[in-house]
Structure 1
Amino acid sequence: MIQEFIRSLFLIFMAEMGDKTQILAMAFATQYRVKKVLLGVLLGSLLNHGIAVALGSYLSNIIPINTIQIIAGVSFVGFALWTLKNDKEDDEEENNKSRFGPVFTVAMAFFIGELGDKTQLTAITLSVDAVYPIFVLMGTVSGMILTSGLGIYVGSKIGDRIPEFTIKIVSAAIFMFFGVTKLYTTLPPIYIQPIYIGGFFVVIGISVYLLLKPAIDARRRGELSPFREAALTLYEYTHQIKEAVDEICLGEGQCGKCQGSSCIIGYTKALIRQVIESGEFEKIGEWQGFPESLEKNFEEGKVVESLSITLTALTQHLSQEEMLFIHKVRQALEMVLFGEKIPFNGDLGVYFEGLKMRGTKTAQKVIQRVEELRSA
């Protein structure tokens, strides 16, 4: 019972490491709250794998158990090779907003995206000889949630430094081990002969080479896989602004005792930290203008850089909550540079016109830097 749960969780977890499930989860996490994304993953996977487990349990009643074991062994070998496939998934699901809300949108994306995929087929394979199919379902769904959650967390913390290639090799090796073991113990003795075993591994070796060659060539060219691209995007989005704002802080050496969120830059740092750590936007204190901290000698160049990065982020595909967060940061930095909040209606051109009306060199620096960042 518990063994079936753990095996199912482990195999699904390894199968989806670096696969499109994590790419989808990470992309959705830049549009919706993490909790809503994971709830959507739960519902979508539960429906998808529920169908798979039901089908697998039905097949076990009409197909002899030895035949099922052989099919399972062949399937696991196939899943191992499938894991090595160089995926180039379309991102249409992530790039379109849905009128049905975040949970339904994510659930449908995962349900449709996993139809006929190796995780659904793995769920079928695991359930055909399971004594407790419900525990197989619990394990596969748990594996999907853990993989998605880890993808979001790791992507936001270390960006493109994820050893995706190594993970794919390890995942494929695990599936291959289960597949070969099943075949060795269930195939008729006539097929367990050196000539057949040698031929099998020659075919597997050639297949592995052909499947890995595109990924190896891409790595030599310095190309990023879809998973690493998604991780890098999420990492940059959550950390670039933080790093830039951290640079503004004068430190206790120049500033004296830290005022924390009573200082306009301290408030901004706390706001960013809250979003990064919890994945949610929450108001930190009340906006009171911070008159004392506005008199501090913050380095103009660093504030210009931070505001420019923040304005560039506003041109990206953001959720409503993320927009609120970015605007809070923007307004704080505007107060430091110009002593006032500048209206922003979503049109960067109109905003630039408002900056130009201030007639200052600082305003020109911000406009120039934003244009450089957008063209980079």
Structure 2
Amino acid sequence: MIGELIRAFLLIFAAEMGDKTQIIAMTFATQYKVRDVIAGVFIGVLFNHGIAIVLGRYLSKVIPLNLIQIIAGIMFVIFGILALKDEDEEEIENKKAFGPIATVAFAFFVGELGDKTQLTAMTLATEGNFPLFILMGTILGMIVTSGLGIFIGSKIGEKIPDIFIKITSSIVFIFFGTLKLFSTIPSIYLKPLNIILYFTILIAIESYLIKTIVKQRRTGAKSLMKEVATTLYTQTQMLKEVLDNICLGRDKCGACSGSECLLGYTRHILREAREKGNYYDDFSVDLNKLIKKDYDKTKVLQALSLILSDYLQNGWEQDQNFVINQVKRSLEIILFEEPIKNKENINDYFNEVRIKDKVMASILEERVKENLI
């Protein structure tokens, strides 16, 4: 029982490291709370792999076991080869009508239909004796890789060795597949010449794919996984530097009031995002009651313009629990004494700002345009 669970976990873990599903988890972690993303992954994978395992158990009753094991071995070798292919960039449509958990669950259920992990779960079920433990292993593998994807996106950024991950994943699948083939195929076919030919073809294919990946990285092409991780890191690093520049310092404030200060609190939630991956959380603090100081409004305007420029380029984020929106709200309180009401787009936002301060609105619009040039 435990052996089937561990085997299922290892295969799914190897399959998903650096794969599109991990990238989806990283992206959702910038939009929803981490616990909601993990819950959505669990539900989506439970249904997806559950269907696969039920189907796999049915196939095991109508197809000879020896043939199933040979097919399984071939599929594992194919999965190993495919692990070295770069995933096509996938656009994740952000539909929040069903709530974060349901949205993530649906995305993972649909995203895994016909994917190698679903096929792996089906294949394991055709030869296993404990389908429930296989399902537990596959779900655990998906949750762990998704969790690592979120961790990578929030902490490691550029340092992730994605080539190493892909090669390791490929080796794991090919090892299991080859082991299964050599223990299942009749000995009459396992002649030295056939074995040499098998490994020669396999090494040639692997070498070509590895060479292609290395060449892409040397020419500056980044994996989608790296791009997502880098975006998260760069965005929060930029805001950290801007807020550090706005801070008046001990020379003007005397003893630092830390998180009791509006800017100090803002820096705190940004640090939480960078260090703990809490990109989407509700800190439940009334920003209006925090200490406000005589900040340089020119610098504050510049910081706000950077956030608005980013939203123009990457989409307008509505949820106020998103850490960047919380930073934006703090900056608005400094500039306008109160936050700008949540708006549907940038034009509505500027209209609201003009009502509060036409001069400041004009300066802010000009700064945003300059940032986009």
TM over 0.5: yes
Residue type of the alignment partner of 1:282: F
> Could you list the runs of 5+ residues in structure 1 that have no partner in the other structure?
none
How far is the alpha carbon of 1:251 from its aligned partner?
4.2
1:294–1:335 contact (8 Å) kept in structure 2: no
1:30–1:319 contact (8 Å) kept in structure 2: no
Q: Distance in 2 between matches of 1:195 and 1:119?
A: 33
Q: What residue number does 1:310 align with?
A: 307
Report the CA distance shift for 1:369/1:166 in structure 2 as closer, same or farther (over 3 A).
farther
Q: What residue number does 1:159 align with?
A: 157
SS in 1 for 2:4: helix
CA deviations on 1:183-217 (whole Å, 9 max, x unpaired) are 22222222222210111112112322443444233
Report the CA distance shift for 1:239/1:78 in structure 2 as closer, same or farther (over 3 A).
same
Report the CA distance shift for 1:246/1:205 in structure 2 as closer, same or farther (over 3 A).
same
> Could you list the runs of 5+ residues in structure 2 that have no partner in the other structure?
none
Q: What residue number does 1:56 align with?
A: 56
Q: What residue number does 1:134 align with?
A: 132
Report the CA distance shift for 1:190/1:9 in structure 2 as closer, same or farther (over 3 A).
same
Counterpart pick for 2:337 among 335, 340, 344 = 340
How far is the alpha carbon of 1:98 from its aligned partner?
4.7
Q: Distance in 2 between matches of 1:210 and 1:84?
A: 10
- What is the alpha-carbon root mean square deviation over aligned residues? 2.9
Q: What residue number does 1:211 align with?
A: 209
How far is the alpha carbon of 1:62 from its aligned partner?
3.0
2:56–2:126 contact (8 Å) kept in structure 1: yes
Q: What residue number does 1:19 align with?
A: 19
CA deviations on 1:299-326 (whole Å, 9 max, x unpaired) are 6665344222222244343543247754
How far is the alpha carbon of 1:139 from its aligned partner?
0.5
SS in 1 for 2:221: coil
Q: What residue number does 1:102 align with?
A: 100
Q: What residue number does 1:260 align with?
A: 258
Q: Number of paired residues?
A: 366
CA deviations on 1:131-190 (whole Å, 9 max, x unpaired) are 211101000011111111211121012223321111000010111111111222222222
SS in 1 for 2:22: helix
How far is the alpha carbon of 1:42 from its aligned partner?
1.0
Q: What residue number does 1:235 align with?
A: 233
**What are the within-5 Å matches in structure 2 for residues 192-203 of structure 1?**
192-203=190-201
How far is the alpha carbon of 1:90 from its aligned partner?
2.8
SS in 2 for 1:67: helix
1:26–1:234 contact (8 Å) kept in structure 2: no
Q: What residue number does 2:293 align with?
A: 294
How far is the alpha carbon of 1:19 from its aligned partner?
0.4
1:342–1:354 contact (8 Å) kept in structure 2: no
Q: Distance in 2 between matches of 1:53 and 1:347?
A: 45
1:309–1:373 contact (8 Å) kept in structure 2: yes
Report the CA distance shift for 1:355/1:69 in structure 2 as closer, same or farther (over 3 A).
same
Q: Distance in 2 between matches of 1:128 and 1:347?
A: 51
1:267–1:284 contact (8 Å) kept in structure 2: no
2:44–2:106 contact (8 Å) kept in structure 1: yes
Q: Distance in 1 between matches of 2:337 and 2:283?
A: 23
* Runs of 4+, deviation exceeding 6 Å: none
Identity %: 44
Residue type of the alignment partner of 2:29: A
How far is the alpha carbon of 1:341 from its aligned partner?
4.2
1:80–1:171 contact (8 Å) kept in structure 2: yes
Name which of structure 1's ranges 218-227 and 321-330 shifts more when overlaid on structure 2.
Answer: 321-330
- TM-score, normalization by structure 1: 0.86
